[in-house]
A and B are shown apart, each in its own frame.
Chain A
Amino acid sequence: MIRYIRHAAAFCLLLLVALLANAARVQVFEADELDDNPANRRTTIARYDEPRGNILVDGRPVTGSKDTGEQLAYERTYRYGPLYAPVTGYASQTYGTTLIENAEDDILSGTDPLLAPLPLWGEVSRTRQPGGDVVTTVRDAMQRAAYEGLGNRRGAVAAVEPATGRVLALVSTPSYDPERLSGTGSSVTGAWRELNAADSRPMLNRAIRQTYPPGSTFKIVTAAAALDAEVVTDPDAETDTPSPYVLPGTSTVLPNESRGCEKASLADAIRVSCNTVMAHLGVEVGLDGMVEAAERFGFNDTGLKVPSGVAKSNFDTDMSDDQLAQSSIGQFDTTATPLQMAMVAAAVANGGELMYPHLVERTTKHDGATVHTTGSKSYHRAMNPLTATRLRQMMIDVVQDGTGTNAAIDGATVGGKTGTAQHGVDNSDLPYAWFISWAQADGAARPAVAVAVVVEDAEADRADISGGGSAAPIARAVMEAALED
């Protein structure tokens, strides 16, 4: 019997070995795969187990975290939700993250390896670092000026510092409070449905995610192309624009909203916003030259990130001459984000050098030690310095003596350009009023700010006057806030 007992014991040993080998399979060899299974809640639980890092504006957090005591412990809170929603985005336990909350999620949630005190620390200690902070370039006073300026209207404002590319304000209205989406449950899904169903599309970030036909503000790009291509050598000389101007290859007459455009000089055409002159110049520059010029300003770039992704601003690369003529005055298929148009103004203000826009100044550890700093870097040289100097003067004239007088500020040099764009079937929707501008304090070495404002305006029936009427005052308020310190 002893032999058989030993056999039975060997059998039990076999069972033990099988258990140990199988446990090793699950716990060691297949562990990573199981840990990464999307149905495994552990990653989610760990993610919300610690307070999330904060997003800072002017050194103060505009976000927070509260402990709900639930399985997913910490929920995101926002101090001025609707005001900063286009900057922060939301961080939801149900719907994920967007914008900075998304782009800097590794830092904010504490998973970025750079947050660890030692390399590979997280892997060895199996711990998560406290979430780091994200310091933005946004200035609270400017953000508020833009938000209050837009008021109840639908629109957006983007402001950048021309010399550095720092994004100083990013506003979209109507906005929403991202805190409504932070948690889980029916109140969150209800808010999500409501926000997505709303006609006013409050969750749309109009400043960087929506493109609009830029209308006459695009004439700055056409002017830069004409000057750089030496189609125009003297901005004050008469142009040979035919009048009436018939779109090439068609019998359509392009109308002017302003008077005095017949054979107007480039400077005058910008000042009073002549469609015919600029359309004609665009055709003279030619498709290749116009595409090249537009792309130097950032059009057709699908990869622009601030670090939130910016929608592609479009300038068609394959067009007939009549389409090119219309595109050159910001119509046809030409579209731009408000940020893109702020970059156009910034390029002019900065002597033709366009800086890469960025919204994040730096990221820090929980204790404030810097993890990464976003330096200023050049994006493109948008135009020659001489062209920039000439365009600066033309934009100054617009504010001093043209369509943009509403943007003038005492004690500062301001350059601007108005615009209006019809849209919708048969132009039935509300038109967009545009204003792009920059401002430089008297005695200052560099311009302080470049702004683009777009606002849906029921009164904008008469071309560029509306851009000067409804959009320019908002731009002025933002520029004043920028000049104040």
Chain B
Amino acid sequence: MTASTADAPPPELRLPRRRGVELSLLIGAVLISVYGYAAVGLAHDGAVPPDVAGYGGGLGLLALLAHLAVRLRAPYADPLLLPIAVLLNGLGLVLIYRLDLETPGERAATTQLIWSTIGVAFFIAVVAFLRDHRVLQRYAYLSVAAALVLMIVPIFFPAVNGAKIWIRIGGFSFQPGEFAKILLAVFFAAYLAANSNALAYTGRKIWRFQLPTGRVLGPIVAIWLISVGVLVLERDLGTSLLFFGLFVILLYVATGRRGWIAVGLLLAAVGAFVVGSFEPHVHSRVQDWLDPFASIDAGRGPGQLAQSLFAFAAGGMLGTGLGLGHSVLIGFAAKSDFILATAGEELGYTGLTAVFLLYALLVARGYRAGLALRDAFGRLLAIGLASILALQVFVIAGGVTGLIPLTGMAMPFLAQGGSSVVTNWIIVALLIRVSDLARRPAPDDVETGVVAAVPAERPGAEGER
């Protein structure tokens, strides 16, 4: 995509490509992961694991292929996105491999590496074939239809551990709801980009909050209600909370109406209260959150949340060291929902902070791309994808540390789970794509007109006191 230099912006926007930076960071990310892998073996068996070269080579190859795809197809992309993804994925493999040592009957690291490979393949495919994210805008309604199908299909499959979010065919299982996240983000971004003016400037005003007209609001609320309803039926409240948060954030970013936040919070509060009171699965989670040690007092031993808190506490400031903790005591879901407890115990508060900051950096880079883009759809897409990561990290990390009630979700890149890894690689690929466009020195003049100008032209439209 070459652009005419006549319309080129001032020189300060001419960002260097920074592909060398990305490559060096990638090498660092792979080396850190390999080091962690070796440290686990040294601590647990007193020897470097025999397949450390294969593991390092595999991860390195994946990183290299992804890098080449970015270098060829998205040369201006943000150089931090890919290394962070590789580092988190590598760290997740280390933690899963570490837990595998405690559960010889259930090896998950190899499967996870295969899923990571598939994820990187999707990453490369997206970077290579999706030349411009604005293409996606055309498929908004197709996206939402696909998302609904993906969410509805698992209802017809048997529940796994209380949640009907899995499709199992043979020995192969995946969570279609994970992919639905991206599709919904695309739909929300496209719809809001097209209708932001209508949403922002029309409708009744109730007290200090101006509400949009039903005509514009109708479709989006309907979609949202359906998706949330499906999720409540499937008893997957983490994802439900995620969609809700995504919806409110994008609505706010698109319209700037604080009313949306108020309405959103009100709806969330009512929904949370109703579901928390009447749905037994969620009700028990809330009880567990209010008193994680109730089961101990009742003589039934510590529950998962209590075990998770014990694990974090055992890590303390500096952690026990990789391979030296006992987070396997959490038992079920130690490698998936509770993977962060292993990080907390073995890497300590210091390591956990580093992991959180990696996520924060990833989100910040997504927001940065959103800020730099000129088209409303791209902006909303970038904000939406980054917010998915932020919300997901908050919901699951807050859950396992006792900040909010626990809802089953996968820690992006870290947790065991194929669908989640693949989805997150696609999210990073999309962020790479939009950031490439955002940082490209000669912005396209295709879309600089109407949409970008709107926010500046709305004086007096909102009570901003």
Contact = CB atoms under 8 A, between A and B. Distances in A.
B329 interface: yes
A27 B316 contact: yes
A45 B324 CA distance: 11
Given A5-B371, A26-B401, A39-B306, A20 B387 contact: no
Interface in A1-52: 1-9, 11-13, 15-16, 18-20, 22-24, 26-28, 30-35, 37-42, 45
B258 to A, nearest CB: 9
B390 interface: yes
Interface string A267-292: 00000000000000000000000000
B252 A4 contact: yes
Given A8-B387, A12-B363, A16-B360, A37 B296 contact: yes
A27 B352 contact: yes
A126 interface: yes
Contact of B352 (A15, A23, A39, A126): A23
Nearest to B300: A39
B147 to A, nearest CB: 22
B356 A19 contact: yes
Interface string B385-419: 01100110110011001110000000000000000
Interface string B307-335: 00110111111101000001001000000
B349 interface: yes
B310 A34 contact: yes
A8 B255 CA distance: 12
Contacts of A5: 253, 367, 370-371, 379, 383
Contacts, number: 135
Given A5-B370, A37-B310, A19 B326 contact: no
B316 A31 contact: yes
B398 A18 contact: yes
A7 B260 CA distance: 14
B363 A19 contact: no
A396 B349 CA distance: 73
B356 A27 contact: no
Interface in A40-86: 40-42, 45
Interface residues of B, number: 52
Interface in B341-379: 344, 348-349, 352-353, 356, 359-360, 363-364, 367, 370-371, 376, 379
Interface residues of A, number: 37
Contacts of A22: 398, 401-403
B293 interface: yes
20 contacts: A1-B256, A2-B371, A2-B455, A4-B252, A8-B367, A12-B390, A15-B390, A16-B390, A16-B394, A19-B393, A19-B394, A26-B401, A35-B313, A35-B314, A37-B293, A39-B302, A40-B313, A40-B314, A42-B314, A42-B329
B455 A1 contact: yes
Contact of A8 (B253, B326, B360, B397): B253
Given A2-B455, A5-B370, A27-B344, A15 B252 contact: no
A58 B348 CA distance: 46
Contact of A34 (B313, B386, B393): B313
A126 B394 CA distance: 30
B216 interface: no
Interface in A213-258: none
B249 interface: yes
Chain B CB within 10 Å — which of A2, A12, A31 has the most? A12
A38 B297 CA distance: 11
A45 B397 contact: no
A16 to B, nearest CB: 5
B249 A18 contact: no
B28 interface: no
A401 to B, nearest CB: 66
B254 interface: yes
Contacts of A31: 312-314, 316
Contacts of B394: 15-16, 18-19
Interface of B: 249, 252-256, 293, 296, 301-302, 306, 309-310, 312-318, 320, 326, 329, 344, 348-349, 352-353, 356, 359-360, 363-364, 367, 370-371, 376, 379, 383, 386-387, 390-391, 393-394, 397-398, 401-403, 454-455
A40 B252 contact: no
B79 to A, nearest CB: 20
Contact of A39 (B301, B313, B316, B455): B301
A-B pairs, top 4 by smallest CB distance, nearest first, are A34-B313, A31-B313, A22-B403, A27-B349
Contacts of B253: 1, 4-5, 7-8
Nearest to A33: B313
A27 B376 contact: no
Nearest to A11: B249
A136 to B, nearest CB: 34
Nearest to A14: B394
Chain B CB within 10 Å — which of A19, A20, A26, A34 has the most? A26
Given A8-B387, A11-B249, A126-B320, A39 B314 contact: no
A77 B316 CA distance: 34
A19 B376 contact: no
Nearest to A30: B313
Contacts of A20: 353, 356
A33 B310 CA distance: 9
Contact of A7 (B252, B314, B317, B391): B252
Given A12-B387, A39-B302, A40-B302, A23 B310 contact: no
Nearest to B398: A19
A2 B394 CA distance: 24
B58 to A, nearest CB: 31
A384 B255 CA distance: 102
A80 to B, nearest CB: 34
Nearest to A15: B394
A475 to B, nearest CB: 50
A1 B376 contact: yes
B456 to A, nearest CB: 9
Contacts of B402: 22, 26
Contact of A1 (B301, B317, B379, B387): B379
Chain A CB within 10 Å — which of B301, B352, B376 has the most? B352
